[in-house]
Amino acid sequence: MNKQRFRLAEYFGKPAQYYHATFDHITHKINRQHQKIPVILLTDVYLVDSQDKKIRLANKNDFIDAKGKHIIADHLWVKLTKPWLELPQELLQGDEIYFQANVEQYKITRADTVTKRNQIWDAMIKKNKRIETSWNYYTKHHYRKNFMTSLRKMRAKQQENITEAKKLQMQIKLVDYSLNHICKIHIVLLRKVKKNFQRETYSYVRFKNQGYKYSAWLAARTMDYI
């Protein structure tokens, strides 16, 4: 799990919460059915109440943004759904909103996460080999009065290492968290638009009729604006 999103895990399976975030841009991701799904990149995601008042997070492992404030995620990808397209103004990089959403969990197969789990297992195997090598060396050069008892103790120590490695691996979960069922979106701040650029009005009807053609147009606009 991404360390900047571990806090979201605490709200998985619980009632919807309110979040404040900064809009960055729209792009597309390919789902398992090889379809292009429009998604939004949100940054600096704070937990807030229904009036957009920030809820202070104070855990020692909380992620802190550039301003020194505790945030629940440094970035999130969320689906471009109907509530977004019903906003009165087009969102551009730097605009701020707050909304209600549920936390979703999804499986990941990121190489870095799998590597970390494998490293824990490999380290345990090396440790157990050293224990057995040391035991065998002592046994070869010294008389063991209670040979079987010593052997059982050595195997028990190796089993402890295996159990501990599995526990550590489980702490590196092959899941991550994001937000879904986003609704009740409120615009908090619209940044002054750059020169020679004009905000458009969203149209859910166009999105429904044109699909990818419309979302690709919106995505291109947000990227051109950056």
Residue pLDDT, tens place only, 176-218? 889 999 999 999 999 999 999 999 999 999 999 999 999 999 9
Say what the pLDDT of residue 131 is: 95
Q: Is the dihedral of CA 3, 4, 9, 10 positive or negative?
A: positive
* Residue reference for tokens 């057995």: 132
Q: How far apart are CA 169 and CA 156, in angstroms?
A: 20
What pLDDT does residue 7 have?
81
Say which residues have a Cβ less than 8 Å from residue 118's Cβ, sequence separation at least 6.
none
The answer as to CATH 1.10.10.10 being correct for domain 3-107+176-225 is no
For residue 172, the model assigns a pLDDT of 79
Looking at residue 62, its pLDDT comes to 67
Q: Which residue ranges of the chain lie beneath pLDDT 50? A: 1
| pTM, two decimal places | 0.74
Token pair belonging to 192: 């002054």
Q: Crossing angle of helices 111-141/147-171, nearest 10°?
A: 170
> pLDDT at position 107, please?
81
**What is the model's pLDDT at position 94?**
96
